[in-house]
Amino acid sequence: MKILMVNGSPHPSGCTARAMAEMESVFTAAGIEVEKMLLGTKEIRSCIACGKCRQTGRCVFSDAVNEFLDQADAADGFVFGSPVHFASLSGAMTAFMDRALYAGNEGLKNKPAACLVSARRAGTTAALDQLLKYPMYANMPIVPSRYWPMVHGNTAADVEQDLEGLQIMRQMARNMVWLLQCIAAGKEAGVPLPQHEAERIATNFVR
Ligand SMILES: Cc1cc2nc3c(=O)[nH]c(=O)nc-3n(C[C@H](O)[C@H](O)[C@H](O)COP(=O)(O)O)c2cc1C
Taking 70 as the threshold, does the pLDDT of residue 207 lie above it? no
**Phi and psi dihedrals of 130, rounded to 5?**
-65, -45
Rg of the chain's alpha carbons, rounded to an integer?
17
User: What does the pLDDT look like over 30-89, one tens digit per residue?
Assistant: 999 999 999 999 899 999 999 999 899 999 999 999 999 999 999 999 999 999 999 999
pLDDT computed for residue 149 by the predictor: 98
Cβ proximity of 78 and 114 under 8 Å: yes
125 alpha-carbon distance from chain centroid: 16
Distance CA 21, CA 24 (A): 5
User: What does the pLDDT look like over 82-136, one tens digit per residue?
Assistant: 999 999 999 999 999 999 999 977 889 999 999 999 999 999 999 999 999 999 9
H-helix segments, the chain: 15-29, 53-56, 64-72, 91-103, 105-108, 124-137, 156-161, 163-188
Distance CA 57, CA 97 (A): 14
Distance from the CA of 45 to the center of ligand 1, in angstroms?
Answer: 21
Region of 153 (left: φ > 0; alpha: ψ -120 to 50; beta: rest) is: left
Taking 90 as the threshold, does the pLDDT of residue 205 lie above it? no
Among 36, 37, 84, 161, the mutation site with the greatest number of ligand 1 atoms within 8 A of its Cβ is 84
Among 120, 124, 151, 166, the mutation site with the greatest number of ligand 1 atoms within 8 A of its Cβ is 120
Cβ proximity of 52 and 103 under 8 Å: no
Query: Is 16 near ligand 1, meaning CB less than 6 Å away?
Result: yes
Measured at the CA of 127, the angle between CA 131 and CA 200, to 5 degrees, comes to 30
Q: Which helix (H) or strand (E) holds 57?
A: none
List the chain domain ranges.
Answer: 2-188
Q: Which atom of ligand 1 is nearest to the CA of 17?
A: 26
Distance CA 36, CA 13 (A): 13
pLDDT computed for residue 193 by the predictor: 93
User: Which CATH entry fits the domain spanning 2-188: 3.40.50.360, 3.40.50.720, 1.10.10.10, 3.60.20.10?
Assistant: 3.40.50.360
Cβ proximity of 50 and 60 under 8 Å: yes
pTM, rounded to two decimals: 0.97
Cβ proximity of 109 and 140 under 8 Å: yes
Q: Which atom of ligand 1 is nearest to the CA of 155?
A: 25
